[in-house]
């Protein structure tokens, strides 16, 4: 899947708070998840979805990806959330409690129906399923492949630990297997993997450690509960200068190789071939988002002319 | 009535003085000599001690219509100005002018004495109720708002003549040597009082902490002091230098701070020798925190931190990030403790700090200053004096001085304040002219003044949200709507003097 959109930071914003919705445009996270689910009390479910709709309709100069976390489809609010919010054109839906492929397929069908009704391209509304229970984690592989709309799998540790009847610890050892299973499913399906929230807003060192851990495992982004967390997460996901320098050398080397009619070349005594080029390209795309390089690397540089 | 170069209507004269309309920040040249005062002689064996403020007022020769001054280093904890004015009333004096370095909300106590004619007017800006009542037409007293550098300039050139300076001296000996470092009312730097001590016809040291001769270190020496008076308390220690100096945790404020610190990094100024000033606000401190991080990471050694000094800057000094601090005023207790302990924490007077008419003030050596704003307009003019309701509520401080001096002046402000847009077509009052403002940073974008074209280009290249200031205004007004303009009467309640003595704006009585 050639979806290279950066999703380092996905910020939750409560859907029932105008003062916070109003500030969505100003934060430099990659995506926002406007929450109609857990952050919104039952008495405000209806008001919140209309508020979110109005906000989205007025937010014309969109500068980040906008997802809406709806209530679970089997709740009495899930369908109504879609009905009210989709005409305001969010980019996608974060689906809570995506425990089985069937639940995602059901959302897929509903989205298709809305797309037909709204006369927009089928597949326009993307889906980010939350794997946040033992069942969801076990079904990760099936879920990852249950819809073409899915661009990433999100791991939700808070609900997951609740479903496991365990406490979430600062070190997070209890999450390791689940994190890996979600990650394998995502990587195998060729989509991104988004790590869970870090709830303690005042503990920046804890956030940094957990994000570094997730990045080392292979996660490409993290969900956030406060804008103050964006900076740390971006710092962690930012490529190091030496990585960028090396990636630029790799691209230059492979372009030289192509001129020579080969797909393999040595750089500083190491072989450069397709996987190395691919990794370098990913580093440079992230570097571009961080303003560390001036131009986006084009596909031809990576794969060679057809 | 004349228009100055910013299109502001300036009266021909005010409080009996002819006014010069503002033209530009740098071209006014001073004429003549530094002001003088009479020589004096104090023979051996003479005591300077007097037993009360009342006695000191009599001894000083203060008469109706004369001018007194105090300094504002005790900030909103100051007892002295209120006590002096009460004595003036007791002694039956009338028409006295106040030329203090600033007046705080605590001094609302003197309002009855303004009404009764004891106090005639203010040769200084005012914070709080006095300005508000003047703006509503409920108090009739001329107010000439001056910056810190402008006040030093006015005193030195003699356009403001202080007859008696009452200097709150937290640590003082019987011969008048003093500093502000120690004692129950310690306030740190006595920077604003230094000009007064040099130029007032009579200098009265007032202390609640008389120590054996001689006080060391000496901030203001005995040679400048005529009388020494002891009082019970100079101020309320809980309110002296008690500005809350904490980094903001508000995500909007932090976003602004992040952008501001990125602007500084991109500007190329952040290298060895970097000099920096911020205020004590939560956003300013957040900028300082980020700059501190960047300096630490880059191994950058700054030359000096300047201005009102906070504990934050003290930490940077002690970490070796700055070689020195130039301190005209301490903003918190940590700064007070530091000035008595760190040799590189240098006390400076207001003249040294910011006067445009001397051999070159410290502000001229600033790389970067972070400043706040109540309003900014599309010509980058900044207002910190009047609020959105048109009331004169704040003094200028060092705003226009540092903006004029620094290589890069950065305004940090939330785009929306109390439902109102921060960017306007025209600010209610111009405190600081747009030509001395480099960059305006809000959470919704960064507006760069045209004179910094290279910086702007580089910020765009780094993908920071650079916007034309008009575009920023439109974006904000899309959320807030465009507020109805305030309405004013013709009556001028205050004039705002630019640091060079020209008049940059006039504050008028609010209608209704």
The string of pLDDT tens digits covering residues A122-177 is 999 999 999 999 999 999 999 999 999 999 999 999 999 999 999 999 888 999 99
Phi, psi for B115 (deg, rounded to 5): -60, -35
- Mark yes or no for CB contact A228/B462 under 8 Å: no
Interface test with A, best of B250, B252, B414, B466 (most A CBs within 10 A): B252
Interface of A with B in 112-171 (CB under 8 A): none
Residues lower than pLDDT 70 in chain B:
242-245
Within-domain flag for A221: yes
A63 and A156 in a common domain: yes
Q: Are residues A144 and A266 in the same domain?
A: no
- A306 pLDDT more than 70: no
The pLDDT-based confidence of A259 (bands split at 50, 70, 90) is confident
Q: How many residues does chain B have?
A: 512
What is the C-alpha to C-alpha distance for residues B369 and B149, in angstroms, rounded to an integer? Answer: 15
Task: Measure CB to CB from residue A228 to each of B254, B444, B462 and give the nearest one.
Answer: B254
Which of A26, A226, A291 faces B443 most closely, judged by CB atoms?
Answer: A26
Q: A43 with A186, same domain?
A: yes
Is pLDDT of A108 > 90? Answer: yes
Task: Please indicate, yes or no, whether residues A141 and A74 belong to a single structural domain of this protein.
Answer: yes
Written as six digits, the tokens of B458 are 């580089």
* Contact of A143 with A134, CB cutoff 8 Å: no
Q: What is the band of A254 on the pLDDT scale with cuts at 50, 70, 90? A: confident
Distance CA B236, CA B241 (A): 10
User: Would you call B462 an interface residue with chain A, using a CB distance cutoff of 8 Å?
Assistant: yes
pLDDT for residue B244: 61
Q: Specify if A1 maps to a domain.
A: no
Statement to judge: residues A247 and A163 lie in one domain: no
pLDDT at A2: 41
Residues 6+ apart with CB under 8 A from B136: B391, B509, B510
Residue A252 sits in the same domain as residue A276: yes
Q: Residues A142, A280: one domain?
A: no
The per-type count for chain B, helices as H runs and strands as E runs, is 14, 29
Cβ–Cβ of B462/A291 closer than 8 Å?
A: yes
Please calculate the CA angle B280-B347-B289 and round it to the nearest 5 degrees: 30
Q: Read off the pLDDT band of A40 (50, 70, 90).
A: very high
B249–A25: do the CB atoms touch at under 8 Å?
A: no
- Residue given tokens 């937290």 in the structure block: B170
Mark whether A143 and A258 lie in a shared domain: no
Residues B454-473 as b or e (16 or more Cβ within 10 Å = b): ebbebbeebebbbbebeebb
Is A1's pLDDT higher than 50? no
Shortest Cα–Cα distance, A290 to chain B (Å): 8
Q: Is the separation of the CB atoms in B445 and B262 below 8 Å?
A: no
Shared-domain flag, residues A225 and A251: no
Asked if B419 is an interface residue toward chain A (Cβ–Cβ < 8 A), one would say: no
The confidence score (pLDDT) of residue A252 equals 87
Interatomic CA distance for residues A36 and A183, integer angstroms: 26
Half-sphere exposure of B330 (CA within 13 A, CB side): 28
Other Cβ atoms less than 10 A from the Cβ of A278: the count is 13
Domain that holds residue A259: 241-303
Q: Which residue has the higher pLDDT, B175 or A262?
A: B175
In a domain, A145, yes or no: yes
What are the residue boundaries of the structural domains of chain B, listed by start?
2-18+47-123+160-240, 251-491
Q: What is the CATH number of domain B2-18+47-123+160-240?
A: 3.40.1080.10
Domain identity same for A187 and A297: no
Residue to substitute from A11, A23, A203, A294, interface B, most B β-carbons within 10 A = A23
- B2-18+47-123+160-240 and B251-491: identical CATH topology: yes
Mean pLDDT for A210-236 is 95
- Chain A nearest-CA distance from B298, in A, is 14
Contact between B443 and A23 using a beta-carbon 8 Å cutoff: yes
A156 and A49 housed in the same domain: yes
Q: Which of B444, B461, B462 sits opposite A26 (nearest CB)?
A: B444
What is the model's pLDDT at position A294?
Answer: 80
Whether the pLDDT of residue A55 is over 50: the answer is yes
Residue A224 placed within a domain: yes
Task: Give B475's contacts in chain A (Cβ within 8 Å).
Answer: 61
Mean pLDDT taken over chain A: 92
CA dihedral A181, A182, A187, A189 (to 10 degrees): 110
Q: Are B241 and B74 in contact (CB under 8 A)?
A: yes
Long-range CB contacts for residues B299-303, cutoff 8 Å, separation at least 24: B300/B270, B300/B271, B300/B272, B300/B274, B301/B272, B301/B273, B302/B272, B302/B273, B302/B274, B302/B275, B302/B276, B303/B273, B303/B274, B303/B275, B303/B365
Domain boundary among A181, A204, A237: A237
* Subunit contact A25:B462, Cβ cutoff 8 A: no
Q: Identify whether residues A256 and A160 lie together within a single domain.
A: no
- The residue from A184, A209, A237 where one domain ends is A237
Q: What is the pTM of this model?
A: 0.87
Alpha-carbon span B299 to B321, nearest angstrom: 8
Contact A291 B461 (CB under 8 A): yes
Q: What whole-number distance in Å separates Cα of residue A5 and Cα of residue A303? A: 18
**Per-residue model confidence (pLDDT) at position A305:** 59
Residue of B nearest to A28 (CA): B255
Instruction: Report the number of distinct structural domains present in chain A.
Output: 2
CA angle at A230 for the pair B470 and A245, rounded to the nearest 5°: 95
Q: How far is CA B494 from the centre of its chain?
A: 17
| Fold classification of B251-491 (topology level) | Glutaconate Coenzyme A-transferase (3.40.1080)
- Interface-testing mutation among A26, A234, A292, A296, with chain B (most B C-beta atoms within 10 A): A26
Task: Identify the domain boundary among A187, A222, A237.
Answer: A237
Q: Is B290's Cβ below 8 Å from some Cβ in A?
A: no
Contacts of B462 in chain A (CB under 8 A): 291
Please give the residue of chain B at the shortest CA–CA distance from A55.
Answer: B479
């Amino acid at each position: 899947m050639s979806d290279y959109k950066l999703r380092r930071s996905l910020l939750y914003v409560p859907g029932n708070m105008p003062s916070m919705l109003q500030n969505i445009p100003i934060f430099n996270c990659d995506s926002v998840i406007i929450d109609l689910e857990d952050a919104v009390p039952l008495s405000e479910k209806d008001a919140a979805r209309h508020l979110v709709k109005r906000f989205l309709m007025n937010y014309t100069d969109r500068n980040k990806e906008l997802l809406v976390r709806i209530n679970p489809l089997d709740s009495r609010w899930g369908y109504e959330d879609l009905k009210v919010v989709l005409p305001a054109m969010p980019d996608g839906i974060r689906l809570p409690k995506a425990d089985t492929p069937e639940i995602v397929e059901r959302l897929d069908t509903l989205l298709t129906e809305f797309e037909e009704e709204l006369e927009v391209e089928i597949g326009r509304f993307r889906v980010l399923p939350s794997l946040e229970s033992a069942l969801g984690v076990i079904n990760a592989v099936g879920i990852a492949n249950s819809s073409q709309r899915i661009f990433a799998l999100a791991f939700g540790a808070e609900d997951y630990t609740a479903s496991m009847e365990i406490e979430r610890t600062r070190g997070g050892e209890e999450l390791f297997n689940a994190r890996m299973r979600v990650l394998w499913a995502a990587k195998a399906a060729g989509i991104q993997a988004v790590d869970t929230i870090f709830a303690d807003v005042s503990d920046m060192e804890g956030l940094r450690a957990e994000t570094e851990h997730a990045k080392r495992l292979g996660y490409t982004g993290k969900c956030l509960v406060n804008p103050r967390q964006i900076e740390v997460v971006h710092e962690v996901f930012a490529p190091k200068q030496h990585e960028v320098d090396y990636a630029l050398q790799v691209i230059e080397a492979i372009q030289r190789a192509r001129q020579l009619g080969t797909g393999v070349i040595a750089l500083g005594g190491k072989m450069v071939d397709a996987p190395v080029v691919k990794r370098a390209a990913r580093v440079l795309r992230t570097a571009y988002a961080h303003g560390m390089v001036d131009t986006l690397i084009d596909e031809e540089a990576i794969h060679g002319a057809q | 009535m004349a228009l100055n170069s910013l299109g502001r209507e300036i009266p021909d004269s005010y409080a009996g003085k002819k006014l010069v309309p503002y033209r530009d920040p740098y071209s006014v040249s001073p004429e003549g000599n530094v002001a003088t005062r009479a020589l004096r002689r104090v023979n051996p064996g003479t005591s300077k001690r007097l037993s009360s403020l009342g006695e000191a007022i009599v001894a000083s020769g203060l008469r109706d219509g004369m001018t007194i001054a105090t300094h504002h280093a005790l900030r909103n904890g100051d007892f002295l100005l209120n006590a002096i004015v009460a004595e003036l009333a007791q002694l039956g004096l009338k028409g006295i002018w106040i030329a203090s370095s600033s007046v705080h909300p605590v001094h609302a106590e003197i309002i009855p004495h303004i009404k009764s004619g004891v106090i005639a007017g203010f040769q200084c800006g005012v914070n709080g109720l006095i300005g508000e009542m003047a703006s509503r037409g409920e108090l009739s007293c001329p107010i000439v708002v001056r910056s810190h550098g402008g006040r030093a300039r006015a005193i030195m050139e003699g356009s403001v003549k202080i007859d008696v300076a009452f200097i709150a001296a937290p640590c003082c000996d019987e011969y008048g040597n003093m500093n502000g470092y120690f004692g129950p009312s310690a306030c740190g730097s006595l920077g604003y009082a230094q000009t007064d001590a040099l130029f007032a016809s009579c200098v009265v040291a007032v202390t609640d902490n008389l120590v054996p001769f001689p006080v060391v270190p000496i901030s203001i020496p005995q040679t400048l002091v005529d009388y020494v008076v002891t009082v019970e308390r100079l101020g309320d220690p809980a309110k002296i230098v008690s500005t809350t100096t904490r980094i903001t945790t508000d995500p909007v404020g932090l976003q602004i701070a992040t952008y501001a610190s990125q602007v500084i990094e991109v500007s190329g100024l952040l290298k060895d020798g970097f000099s920096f000033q911020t205020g004590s606000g939560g956003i300013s401190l957040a900028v300082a925190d980020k700059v501190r991080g960047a300096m630490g990471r880059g191994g950058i050694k700054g030359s000096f931190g300047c201005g009102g000094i906070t504990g934050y800057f003290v930490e940077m000094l002690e970490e070796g990030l700055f070689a020195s601090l130039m301190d005209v005023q301490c903003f918190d207790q940590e700064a007070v403790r530091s000035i008595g302990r760190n040799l590189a924490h240098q006390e400076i007077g207001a003249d040294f700090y910011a006067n445009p008419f001397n051999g070159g003030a410290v502000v001229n050596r600033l790389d970067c200053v972070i400043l706040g704003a109540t309003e900014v307009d599309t010509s980058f003019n900044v207002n910190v004096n009047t609020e959105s309701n048109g009331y004169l509520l704040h003094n200028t401080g060092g705003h226009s001085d540092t903006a004029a001096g620094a290589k890069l002046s950065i305004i940090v402000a939330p785009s929306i304040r109390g439902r109102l847009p921060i960017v306007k077509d025209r600010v209610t009052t111009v405190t600081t002219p747009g030509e001395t403002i480099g960059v305006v940073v809000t959470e919704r974008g960064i507006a760069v003044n045209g004179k910094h074209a290279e910086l702007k280009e580089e910020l765009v290249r780094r993908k920071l949200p650079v916007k034309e200031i008009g575009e920023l205004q439109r974006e904000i007004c899309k959320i807030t709507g465009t507020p109805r303009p305030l309405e004013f009467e013709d009556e001028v309640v205050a004039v705002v003097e630019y640091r060079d003595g020209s008049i940059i704006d006039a504050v008028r009585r609010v209608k209704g």
